Amino acid sequence: GWLKGTSSAEFSQTLNYEEGSRYNGDITSVNWTLAGSSKTFSYSYDPLNRLTSGTSPDMSENNISYDNLGNLLSMTRDGKTLGYDYTYDGARGNRLNAVSGTWFNGTKYFRYDVNGNVTRDDSRGISSISYNHLNLPQQVSSVSGTLLSYSYTATGEKLRSYNSKTGTTTDYVGGTRYENNDLKVVLTEEGQLRRSGNSYSYEYWVKDHLGNTRVAFYRNPSTGQLEVLQREDYYPFGLNKVRGSLSSSKTNYLYNGKELQEGFDLLDYGARFYDAVVGRWTSVDPLAEKMASWSLYTYAFNNPLRFIDIGGMIPYPITVRAFHPDKYFGGGYSGDNRGYTTAPATARVTQRLLFDTDKSTLTSQAWSSKTHALYGTFESRAMPKQKISSFTSSTGSDGAKHFGIEAHVASANPLAPPGTPDVDVFSSLSITSKDNTLSITGKLTGDNFPSTEAFVSDPSGQSVFLGIGLKEGNPYQSLWGTNKENPIANISLSLTTDDKGNFTGVSANGKTYTIADWNKQFQQQDPHRKRENK
């Protein structure tokens, strides 16, 4: 189900989904009460579920538009305009060349390195940024002379930052933070323990449905009363409305609970940094090949009220694809001319279920690769139909998390005559997560024409096959009806994971496999059932 609201003495909110007859999980309005004042944010979307406006009485982001790649083209924030230009070095692409409008008081330019990382940002007065081997910022220089530097582990975990303006060196040891070698903060799920001299105070953070810190408060040791230290409101794409801390004590863990970098004013998500002013990442998605249909810099599928990006990378996706293994599909149309793979590849229809064991909701995307006629120049891309029929989540008494997924995707040849039947694939999955083990059982059903493949990917981008279906039948007889009861593949395996959730091995049918050996079983199979039976 969808979260309907949260409530506390300091902050409460109600989420509404049904206004405007959307009924698809998009949040159409939010009512919240903060410091005794009630407000409403109303939202609208385009047919691709991308946010087009978010408006409240005293703050708004509206007139939002996008290009064909999903990059932001324009926005009006509190009546001030933002315009985006993507013609960089004479070529149009995903790199933001400049922003302009009354919000910026003119035109501000950006520059990039060969990996697509922002190296200069005139809108923030940043003259240069250098990056390490993981495309994480190492040094940031501003036109005012301030220097920021960062140190990381070999895997990208931040260890230290230095601000030349304040002379502060901050060391990060897990959830503990030291400033100039003195213990200052210990982070917890509910807030932080702050040290001042020989005394400590516990600060609590009240968050909304996106994990945004809305209120920070503590119990004053002198009066014994609860006192609010900080209040925050946010525009839809994450910029916090300047309210001002109510005391000298403040937290920089704000939008999505991520740390705002002082002197840099970007949010650190771990894998990359986010610019809430322009609503874009400053670096390419480390797992960009897993989301080939999206811009490399797009945040939260341009629907920041519904999605979050926990670490700057994509959630655990489960990918289901129907593809034609031959060069020719039949009827004079092209196929995909390939075998089974977990790599980026063309398919007649793809559905990606954005599953995450730490979430209680499930979303998905669907797309199709281009289809073209073999004897002509005509080509087109289908617009698949998809549905999550059911998603359940629960936690057992032993701490195990249980999930159930029922999904369907369908797509027809966009160049074929009207009435051409769809390629249908149904997914029915049961998933259990406990003690570094992810167990997945279920089945794929549907037309089984052409071939079918399904796999799950971990946060590092490593993918593991769940099952495959061998091509059988033909486009003239096999596609009529949904064929929901027709079996394609049975799924039953357990995946061991490390502490970061990345797969380390597979167990199935009483045997254990390395990831490579398990996947090889599927990759080596001929996707044609008829050929297999010869």
65-74 own/partner pairs: CB under 8 Å, 24+ apart? 66/302, 69/93, 69/94, 69/295, 70/294, 70/295, 70/298, 70/301, 70/302, 71/96, 71/280, 71/295, 71/297, 71/298, 72/278, 72/279, 72/280, 72/302
The mean pLDDT value for 21-39 works out to 81
- Furthest CA-CA distance within the chain: 85
Q: CA 245 to CA 251: how far, in whole Å?
A: 9
In the three-class reduction of DSSP (H, G, I as helix; E, B as strand; rest coil), residue 443 is classed as strand
Task: Share the mean pLDDT of the chain.
Answer: 85
| pLDDT bracket for residue 163 (50, 70, 90) | very high
In angstroms, the CA 81 to CA 374 distance is: 46
The pTM of the whole model exceeds 0.85: no
Instruction: Kindly state the percentage of the chain with pLDDT values over 90.
Output: 47
Lowest mean pLDDT among 292-296, 351-355, 481-485: 292-296
Report d(CA 175, CA 189) in Å as an integer: 10
Closest CA to 508 of 468, 465, 469: 465
Nearest to 286 by CA among 133, 160, 153, 152: 133
* Residue 126: pLDDT over 80: yes
10 Å Cβ neighbour count for 478?
18
Q: What is the pLDDT of residue 1?
A: 47
Q: Averaged over 281-306, what is the pLDDT?
A: 81
Q: Quick check: 150 pLDDT over 50?
A: yes
List of residues 6+ apart from 50 with CB closer than 8 A: 64, 66, 70, 301, 302, 303
Q: How many helices (H) and strands (E) does the chain have?
A: 2, 46
Alpha-carbon gap, residue 386 to 129, rounded angstroms: 42
Which position has the higher pLDDT, 379 or 495?
495
Residue with tokens 């998605």: 285
Which one has a higher pLDDT value, 397 or 181?
181
CA distance 410 to 421: 9
Q: Burial level of 407, CB count in 10 A (0-12/13-18/19+)?
A: buried
Mean pLDDT of 78-101: 92
Of 395 and 97, the one with more pLDDT:
97
285's CB contacts (< 8 A; 6+ apart) are 272, 291, 296, 297, 312, 313, 314
Amino acid at 395: T
395: which strand partners?
401
* Residue entry with tokens 């811009």: 295
Both tokens of residue 516?
């490579």
Residue 80: per-residue pLDDT:
95
| pLDDT average, residue stretch 444-464 | 86
pLDDT value at 324 more than 60: yes
pLDDT beyond 60 at 375: no
Q: Which residues contact 513 (CB under 8 A, 6 or more apart)?
A: 505, 506, 507
Q: How confident is the model at residue 531 (pLDDT cuts 50, 70, 90)?
A: very low
pLDDT of the residue at 130: 97
CB-based burial of residue 500 (10 Å sphere; 0-12 exposed, 13-18 middle, 19+ buried)? exposed
Q: What is the pLDDT at residue 475? A: 58
Residue 169: per-residue pLDDT: 97
